[in-house]
Amino acid sequence: MPPVDPGLLSMFDEWAVDHAVKHWGLSQDEAIRRFLGSETHAMLADPETLLWHDSPLVIIDMFENERANGDPRWSTYIQGDSLYVR
């Protein structure tokens, strides 16, 4: 399977970083470091998860859950999709 388009990843990166800056009070550099190093980003960049098909709101919710609980899979979007096969 080909990798996720870098331009598409960049858009998700911008949305998640902007969210972290506005809602968590992080600096731009810290927000970038945290998102790019997150499990959420790793899952997004994995072409087999197909997460790049989802709304940025899904990715932001996953990132929020990873921050709060240590695991992006606690996202209500992921939990709600437990019976849904992509």
Q: How many domains does the chain have?
A: 1
Q: What is the pTM of this model?
A: 0.87
40 lies in some domain = yes
Smallest CA-to-CA distance from 24 within 71, 74, 60, 75 is with 60
Residue-wise pLDDT tens digits, 19-33: 999 999 999 999 999
Q: Does the residue 1 lie in any domain? A: no
Mean pLDDT of 37-59: 94
Helix axes 6-24, 28-36, angle to 10 degrees: 130
Classify the phi-psi angles of 40: left when phi > 0, otherwise alpha if psi is within -120 to 50, otherwise beta: alpha
Helix, strand, coil in percent for the chain, rounding step 5? 70, 0, 30
| Cα separation, 67 vs 83, whole angstroms | 25
Is 27 domain-assigned?
yes
